[in-house]
Amino acid sequence: MGARFAGVLARIRSASGVGPLSLASPLPIPTPVADDSDKTLFQKIADGEVPADVVYQDDRAVAFRDISPVAPTHVLVVPRRPIPRADAVGPEDEALVGHLFTVARRVADAEGLSDYRLVVNNGAGAGQSVFHLHVHLIGGRELSWPPG
Protein backbone atom coordinates (compact mmCIF):
# COMPACT_ATOMS: atom_id res chain seq x y z
CA MET A 1 0.00 0.00 0.00
CA GLY A 2 1.45 3.38 -0.99
CA ALA A 3 2.06 5.96 1.73
CA ARG A 4 -0.38 8.39 0.13
CA PHE A 5 -3.19 5.78 -0.08
CA ALA A 6 -2.54 4.70 3.53
CA GLY A 7 -2.88 8.29 4.66
CA VAL A 8 -6.20 8.70 2.81
CA LEU A 9 -7.47 5.45 4.33
CA ALA A 10 -6.46 6.57 7.84
CA ARG A 11 -8.37 9.83 7.38
CA ILE A 12 -11.50 7.98 6.16
CA ARG A 13 -11.32 5.62 9.17
CA SER A 14 -10.85 8.49 11.53
CA ALA A 15 -13.80 10.39 10.05
CA SER A 16 -16.11 7.37 10.05
CA GLY A 17 -15.10 6.15 13.51
CA VAL A 18 -14.38 2.72 12.03
CA GLY A 19 -11.01 1.27 12.96
CA PRO A 20 -9.04 -1.35 11.08
CA LEU A 21 -10.55 -4.84 11.06
CA SER A 22 -8.65 -7.61 12.76
CA LEU A 23 -9.51 -11.14 13.85
CA ALA A 24 -10.12 -9.75 17.34
CA SER A 25 -12.78 -7.33 16.06
CA PRO A 26 -16.22 -8.17 17.35
CA LEU A 27 -18.38 -9.48 14.52
CA PRO A 28 -22.11 -8.83 14.39
CA ILE A 29 -24.00 -11.70 16.07
CA PRO A 30 -26.85 -12.95 13.88
CA THR A 31 -30.30 -12.72 15.41
CA PRO A 32 -31.43 -16.26 16.27
CA VAL A 33 -34.25 -17.53 14.09
CA ALA A 34 -37.02 -19.55 15.79
CA ASP A 35 -36.18 -23.21 15.31
CA ASP A 36 -39.17 -25.40 14.46
CA SER A 37 -37.36 -28.40 15.93
CA ASP A 38 -37.98 -26.85 19.36
CA LYS A 39 -41.71 -27.27 18.90
CA THR A 40 -43.54 -30.20 20.38
CA LEU A 41 -45.46 -32.53 18.07
CA PHE A 42 -48.72 -31.05 19.33
CA GLN A 43 -47.52 -27.48 18.70
CA LYS A 44 -46.76 -28.50 15.13
CA ILE A 45 -50.27 -29.95 14.81
CA ALA A 46 -51.76 -26.81 16.36
CA ASP A 47 -49.78 -24.67 13.90
CA GLY A 48 -50.86 -26.80 10.93
CA GLU A 49 -47.32 -28.05 10.29
CA VAL A 50 -48.19 -31.69 10.96
CA PRO A 51 -51.48 -32.98 9.56
CA ALA A 52 -54.21 -34.06 11.96
CA ASP A 53 -57.98 -34.49 11.97
CA VAL A 54 -58.79 -31.28 13.81
CA VAL A 55 -62.32 -31.19 15.23
CA TYR A 56 -62.14 -27.88 17.13
CA GLN A 57 -59.76 -24.97 17.50
CA ASP A 58 -59.66 -21.49 18.95
CA ASP A 59 -56.99 -19.05 20.04
CA ARG A 60 -56.06 -21.09 23.14
CA ALA A 61 -56.73 -24.74 22.35
CA VAL A 62 -56.92 -27.33 19.60
CA ALA A 63 -58.73 -30.68 19.57
CA PHE A 64 -57.89 -33.42 17.09
CA ARG A 65 -58.51 -37.15 16.72
CA ASP A 66 -55.93 -39.46 18.26
CA ILE A 67 -53.91 -41.26 15.60
CA SER A 68 -54.34 -44.59 17.50
CA PRO A 69 -57.88 -44.41 18.88
CA VAL A 70 -58.84 -46.68 21.77
CA ALA A 71 -62.57 -46.01 21.36
CA PRO A 72 -64.97 -44.79 18.65
CA THR A 73 -64.33 -41.25 19.91
CA HIS A 74 -60.77 -40.52 20.99
CA VAL A 75 -59.90 -36.86 20.74
CA LEU A 76 -56.93 -35.01 22.27
CA VAL A 77 -57.61 -31.54 23.65
CA VAL A 78 -54.38 -29.54 23.70
CA PRO A 79 -53.48 -26.02 24.82
CA ARG A 80 -51.62 -24.05 22.16
CA ARG A 81 -49.16 -23.09 24.90
CA PRO A 82 -46.77 -26.02 25.38
CA ILE A 83 -47.10 -26.93 29.05
CA PRO A 84 -45.10 -30.19 29.24
CA ARG A 85 -47.21 -32.11 31.73
CA ALA A 86 -49.94 -31.81 34.33
CA ASP A 87 -47.60 -31.22 37.23
CA ALA A 88 -46.05 -28.28 35.37
CA VAL A 89 -49.38 -26.43 35.46
CA GLY A 90 -48.99 -23.22 37.44
CA PRO A 91 -51.44 -20.71 38.88
CA GLU A 92 -51.15 -18.68 35.67
CA ASP A 93 -52.47 -21.70 33.71
CA GLU A 94 -55.64 -22.28 35.70
CA ALA A 95 -57.96 -20.51 33.27
CA LEU A 96 -56.30 -22.24 30.31
CA VAL A 97 -56.61 -25.70 31.87
CA GLY A 98 -60.26 -25.00 32.73
CA HIS A 99 -60.75 -24.04 29.10
CA LEU A 100 -59.55 -27.50 28.02
CA PHE A 101 -62.48 -29.01 29.93
CA THR A 102 -64.91 -26.60 28.26
CA VAL A 103 -63.51 -27.56 24.86
CA ALA A 104 -63.76 -31.27 25.76
CA ARG A 105 -67.44 -30.83 26.62
CA ARG A 106 -68.11 -29.03 23.34
CA VAL A 107 -66.40 -31.81 21.39
CA ALA A 108 -68.30 -34.47 23.37
CA ASP A 109 -71.58 -32.66 22.58
CA ALA A 110 -70.66 -32.54 18.90
CA GLU A 111 -69.90 -36.28 19.01
CA GLY A 112 -73.28 -36.97 20.64
CA LEU A 113 -71.68 -38.21 23.85
CA SER A 114 -73.18 -37.70 27.30
CA ASP A 115 -70.94 -40.23 29.07
CA TYR A 116 -67.23 -40.22 28.36
CA ARG A 117 -63.86 -40.26 30.06
CA LEU A 118 -61.30 -37.48 30.33
CA VAL A 119 -57.76 -38.69 31.00
CA VAL A 120 -54.48 -36.88 31.61
CA ASN A 121 -51.36 -39.04 31.82
CA ASN A 122 -48.68 -37.31 33.90
CA GLY A 123 -45.19 -38.72 33.29
CA ALA A 124 -43.86 -41.70 31.36
CA GLY A 125 -44.67 -44.07 34.23
CA ALA A 126 -48.33 -43.11 33.87
CA GLY A 127 -48.33 -43.61 30.09
CA GLN A 128 -47.46 -40.09 28.92
CA SER A 129 -45.63 -40.26 25.60
CA VAL A 130 -46.04 -36.72 24.27
CA PHE A 131 -44.75 -34.06 26.64
CA HIS A 132 -47.22 -31.37 25.79
CA LEU A 133 -50.20 -31.35 28.15
CA HIS A 134 -53.30 -32.95 26.61
CA VAL A 135 -56.63 -34.26 27.76
CA HIS A 136 -57.80 -37.52 26.19
CA LEU A 137 -61.55 -37.48 25.47
CA ILE A 138 -62.58 -41.11 25.14
CA GLY A 139 -66.10 -42.36 24.53
CA GLY A 140 -68.54 -44.15 22.30
CA ARG A 141 -68.26 -47.52 24.07
CA GLU A 142 -68.60 -48.97 27.58
CA LEU A 143 -65.60 -47.95 29.65
CA SER A 144 -64.47 -50.17 32.49
CA TRP A 145 -62.92 -49.06 35.75
CA PRO A 146 -60.19 -49.15 37.02
CA PRO A 147 -58.16 -48.45 33.90
CA GLY A 148 -55.07 -50.55 33.18
Those residues with Cβ within 8 angstroms of residue 68's Cβ, 6 or more apart along the chain or in another chain? none
**Burial grade of 45 (CB within 10 A; 0-12, 13-18, 19 or more):** buried
Using the contact rule CB under 6 A, the part of the chain among 10-18, 100-108, 109-117, 122-130 near ligand AMP is 122-130
Compute the distance between CA of residue 98 and CA of residue 118 in angstroms, rounded to an integer. Answer: 13
- Tell me which of 74, 132, 134, 136 is the catalytic residue: 134
By beta-carbon proximity to ligand AMP, the closer residue of 31 and 129 is: 129
Q: Which of 113, 96, 105 is nearest to 61 (CA)?
A: 96
User: How would you list the strands of the sheet with 116-119, edge to edge?
Assistant: 54-57, 61-65, 73-79, 135-139, 116-119
The least CB distance from residue 121 to ligand AMP, in Å, is: 4
The verdict on 93 binding ligand AMP (CB under 6 A) reads no
Candidates 11-19, 23-31, 54-62, 121-129: pick the segment binding ligand AMP (CB under 6 A): 121-129
52 lines the binding site for ligand AMP (CB under 6 A): yes
Sole binder of ligand AMP in the list 129, 144, 145, 146 (CB under 6 A): 129
User: Would you call 134 a catalytic residue per the annotation?
Assistant: yes
- We find the least distance from the C-beta atom of residue 130 to ligand AMP, in angstroms, to be 4
Burial grade of 40 (CB within 10 A; 0-12, 13-18, 19 or more): middle
| Residues in contact with ligand AMP by the rule CB under 6 A | 41, 50, 52, 64, 66-68, 76, 121, 127-130
